[in-house]
Structure 1
Amino acid sequence: MSKQFVEQHYVPHVAAVRERLKTSPALQALLDPQVDPALVEGFLIQLNSLGVYMTQPVDGWIRRAGEASVKMGLKDVGEKLITHAKHEEGHHLMMIEDTKNLVARWNEHRTPKLDAEALLNQVPTQAMVEYRKIHEDTIVGPMPAAQVAIEYEIENLSVVFAPGLMEQAKRVCGEDIMEAMSFVKEHAELDVGHTALNEVMLGKLLSQVPEKTEVIGKTGAQALDIYLRFMGDCVERAQKMMKPAAA
């Protein structure tokens, strides 16, 4: 029931943004059969090093959105968010570790040589700043439970995009690249279950507050749009890493 309800009432709001996952020139370049392996490695380095900024606050956002949802009477969805928040604690630590391992791997056989700490301290892109803002705005806004839509879109991204990325990385960089892809690998596996749970929560939420469907749908679409732009930033920075610095 919840799946059908979500498909009917929610998906129309996010369909156009989801389609960009297949049409984005940056992501198409990344998954191109003729891709330069350095672009894939560089993308993974940027995804993890920049991703720390976006992942570190996640458990706090989900918990606070859950607490705000309970306060406004959406007890069931709110309590589920609070429980889910515990599963997200410390995931940024995997990204830090993966960054260090990927950089060490890059430095063994590529130039220019990279500094993991410098990468972890890069200035955030506009999309990264917007990603933090949409969470904060949702928590204090009229529908904090729309956090469910954010979770649904971002965790679904792990389900639909991460497997292809892992296959591409293994194909062009070698099987051993997986040793430095703990974050991507774990989320590709875990987020199948999380996405199913989010779908149930979303269906329940939409049936409880049908008048808020548009707000919830737009929140999910906006979050996914921001994250796709972030992934584009990672590809762009990876392309710059492949070029030796000017003398």
Structure 2
Amino acid sequence: MNSKDLFDRYEEALRPVRAEQAADPDLELLTSQDCPEQLFFLWNLRWTAHGVRMAEPVPKLLRDVGKRWGEVGQPTLAKKYEAHGSEEIGHDDLMASDARVLAERWNESARVPIDVEALIDSPALPSVQRFHGWLRTGDLLFYEAAILYEIERLSISFLPLLIDRCRETLPRGGYGFLEEHLEVDQGHVEGAAAGVRAVLNLDASDLPALIAAGSFALPAYCDLFRECLALAKKDFERETTTPLGIVP
């Protein structure tokens, strides 16, 4: 079986996983007009603050994958992954900056102020711990090939809808990371697909493991969106039920 047929089988296997995430009620709410603007604002604040822990390890992880490609005789892919790792440097700081912008705006009129530095400095959320913990359990080549491809594909599916909502509801900014990530990731989709094909070219028997990695990676990555929404709903409830002048 040639690499195109193998890649087509990977795509076929991942299609229902992608469809399930696209139809997820929480992700649909985030891009819907039905989501209250305050709730969407609080979700952005939570996601940018807690996303710092998701973004921190990424540059080193991608450089490590580049080294692995070099070890298996794929210098072109090695350079691409190492370059991609360099592009990811500073994304954690950009997310933290967005969180601070949003918190400053929130605290101007909120009944319940938010300590953004405490959120940024807090330990990784369970979704982030699961995601990065899983990455450390196997061969970086097919794990990272699958995860990178599935996450980059969000830039042509979910993220454009999300950033449209940001532009509608956040006129004073606070989504710089999302804008930069969207622009950069859209240019990476085909390169990420090439990584999947390269793994399959090395060993066709890796297809089941690659499918398993992609099937875990996409929902696991999206779990951070969901977990931050659950936290934002609690923030929203406190804000809307706390009497003026009383800080719990």
TM-score exceeds 0.5 = yes
| SS of alignment partner, residue 89 of structure 1 | coil
Answer yes or no: is 1:165 the counterpart of 2:162.
Answer: yes
Residues 117 and 9 of structure 1, relative CA distance in 2, 3 Å threshold: same
Q: After TM superposition, give the deviation of residue 230 of structure 1 in Å.
A: 1.5
Answer yes or no: is 1:152 the counterpart of 2:146.
Answer: no
Aligned equivalent of 1:208: 202
Q: Which moved more, 1:65-74 or 1:110-119?
A: 65-74
Aligned equivalent of 2:236: 242
Q: Which moved more, 1:12-21 or 1:96-105?
A: 12-21
State TM-score, norm by structure 2.
Answer: 0.87
Q: How does 1:75-90 map to 2 (within 5 A)?
A: 75-90=75-90
Q: Which moved more, 1:65-74 or 1:10-19?
A: 65-74
Q: Which runs of 4+ in 1 moved over 6 A?
A: none
Aligned equivalent of 2:45: 45
What RMSD, in angstroms, separates the aligned Cα atoms of the two structures?
A: 2.2
Aligned equivalent of 1:121: 121
Q: After TM superposition, give the deviation of residue 146 of structure 1 in Å.
A: 3.2
Q: How does 1:93-242 map to 2 (within 5 A)?
A: 93-138=93-138, 141=139, 144-171=141-168, 173-176=169-172, 179-242=173-236
Q: Which moved more, 1:145-154 or 1:99-108?
A: 145-154
Tell me the percent identity: 24
Inter-partner Cα distance in structure 2 for 1:29 and 1:3? 38
Asked if the contact 2:3–2:201 (Cα under 8 Å) also holds between the matched residues in 1, the reply is: no
Residues 108 and 243 of structure 1, relative CA distance in 2, 3 Å threshold: same
| Residue type of the alignment partner of 1:198 | A
Inter-partner Cα distance in structure 1 for 2:3 and 2:154? 17
Residues 72 and 204 of structure 1, relative CA distance in 2, 3 Å threshold: closer
Residues 145 and 165 of structure 1, relative CA distance in 2, 3 Å threshold: same
How many equivalent pairs are there? 240
Unaligned runs of 5+ residues in structure 2 are 243-247
Inter-partner Cα distance in structure 1 for 2:43 and 2:225? 8
Q: Which moved more, 1:212-221 or 1:237-246?
A: 237-246
Q: After TM superposition, give the deviation of residue 134 of structure 1 in Å.
A: 2.3
Asked if the contact 1:63–1:82 (Cα under 8 Å) also holds between the matched residues in 2, the reply is: yes
Unaligned runs of 5+ residues in structure 1 are none
Asked if the contact 1:6–1:199 (Cα under 8 Å) also holds between the matched residues in 2, the reply is: no
Inter-partner Cα distance in structure 1 for 2:71 and 2:89? 23
Residues 145 and 71 of structure 1, relative CA distance in 2, 3 Å threshold: farther
| SS of alignment partner, residue 244 of structure 1 | helix
Q: After TM superposition, give the deviation of residue 45 of structure 1 in Å.
A: 0.8
State TM-score, norm by structure 1.
Answer: 0.88
Per-residue CA deviation, residues 75-133 of structure 1 (Å, 9 max, x unaligned), is 44334322321111111110010010011111123331111101112343321101111
Residues 210 and 99 of structure 1, relative CA distance in 2, 3 Å threshold: same
Inter-partner Cα distance in structure 1 for 2:47 and 2:38? 14
